């Protein structure tokens, strides 16, 4: 007769093992989430670096002039952007018709891998910049000449948007923003793609108007950081600066991870 009893875990031992597994998961999950977020941020940096290289390629073949950000902006047509063209306002921009098509892999801007829940397919008034992939360009100082003094007439404003800065005018390329993670909030729950990295202050007659802030478009989607691509070709993350107040649509931008990085002035965008 076999008197040996089969060994088994007691209920208390099972509960202890389950508790230990749950504790280990609680410790490891944030680290895994941070690792996944870090890998997406690295892929985003690669996307921005490709945009910077494309911008340099365009300037090299266009007498040093940078790619126009929105050449028809003054006419309120909204059909031409640095990342594409479209025939009707309610359409997304077609990247294969954009000015950078010959300088980008597959001819188009890659979308940020952070998977921002951007609105898609809405009418122009709700979603007016579809197609930039979640990246914005320094239109104020690089992709136009609206920073220049002496712009007063309608024709000079049209020219200011159609023309751009030259690479030789960028005094400190390593300190001048060219592309960055961007978005815009125009309702309480959603973000739209936005093609421009706006400086804190608008520029008029060659000088920043510091009486009020513009609506921020830098999007700090990578754990309170935004990737910023500088005119010398390097990309680095910047942390969101403390700010308050609503944007032009009445939205608290900081709640939507929109804002600026330090210093909160036009110096990171300016050509000087």
For the chain, what's the residue count? 272
Element (H, E) at 32: helix 11-60
pTM, two decimal places = 0.85
Residues 103 and 93: their CA atoms lie apart, in Å, by 17
Give me the pLDDT at residue 37, please. 60
Q: Are 84 and 78 in contact (CB under 8 A)?
A: no
Higher pLDDT, 5 or 239: 239
Distance CA 265, CA 164 (A): 21
Digit-coded pLDDT (tens) for 80-138 = 999 999 999 888 899 999 999 999 988 888 889 988 889 888 888 888 888 899 999 99
| Span 178-202, average pLDDT | 93
- From residue 33, how far is each of 24, 30, 86, 220, 239 by CA, in Å? 14, 5, 38, 17, 19
Which of 55, 264, 88 is closest to 164 using CA atoms? 55
Query: What distance in Å separates the CA atoms of residue 179 and residue 3, rounded to the nearest whole number?
Result: 77
pLDDT exceeds cutoff 90 at 48: yes
CA distance 104 to 51: 7
- pLDDT tens column, 164-175: 999 999 999 999
Instruction: Quickly count: other Cβ atoms within 10 Å of residue 149's Cβ.
Output: 10
Grouping H, G, I as helix, E, B as strand and the rest as coil, residue 270 is coil
d(CA 188, CA 251): 6
* Amino acid 36: pLDDT: 61
pLDDT at 1 over 80: no
Least confident of 14-23, 50-59, 245-254: 14-23
Cis status of the peptide bond prior to 16, with omega within 30 of 0 = no
Give the Cα separation of 258 and 185 in Å (integer).
8
């Amino acid at each position: 007769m076999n008197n040996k009893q089969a060994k088994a875990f007691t209920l208390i031992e099972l509960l202890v093992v389950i508790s230990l597994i749950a504790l280990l998961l609680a410790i490891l999950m944030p680290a895994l989430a941070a690792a996944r977020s870090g890998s997406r941020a690295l892929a985003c940096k690669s996307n921005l670096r490709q945009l910077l290289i494309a911008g340099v390629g365009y300037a090299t073949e266009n007498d040093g002039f940078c790619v126009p950000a929105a050449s028809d902006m003054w006419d309120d047509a909204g059909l031409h952007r640095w990342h594409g063209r479209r025939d009707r306002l309610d359409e997304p921009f077609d990247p294969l018709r954009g000015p950078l098509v010959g300088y980008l892999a597959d001819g188009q801007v890659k979308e940020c891998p952070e998977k921002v829940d951007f609105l898609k397919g809405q009418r122009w008034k709700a979603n007016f910049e579809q197609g930039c992939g979640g990246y914005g360009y320094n239109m104020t100082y690089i992709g136009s000449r609206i920073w220049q003094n002496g712009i007063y007439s309608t024709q000079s404003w049209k020219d200011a948007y159609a023309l751009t800065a030259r690479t030789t005018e960028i005094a400190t390329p390593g300190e001048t923003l060219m592309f960055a993670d961007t978005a815009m909030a125009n309702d309480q729950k959603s973000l739209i793609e936005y093609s421009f990295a706006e400086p804190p202050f608008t520029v008029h007659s060659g000088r920043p108007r510091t009486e009020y802030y513009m609506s921020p478009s830098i999007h700090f989607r990578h754990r309170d950081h935004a990737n910023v691509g500088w005119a010398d070709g390097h990309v680095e993350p910047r942390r969101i600066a403390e700010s308050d107040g609503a944007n032009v649509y009445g939205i608290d931008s900081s709640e939507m991870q929109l804002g600026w990085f330090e210093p909160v002035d036009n110096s990171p965008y300016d050509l000087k």
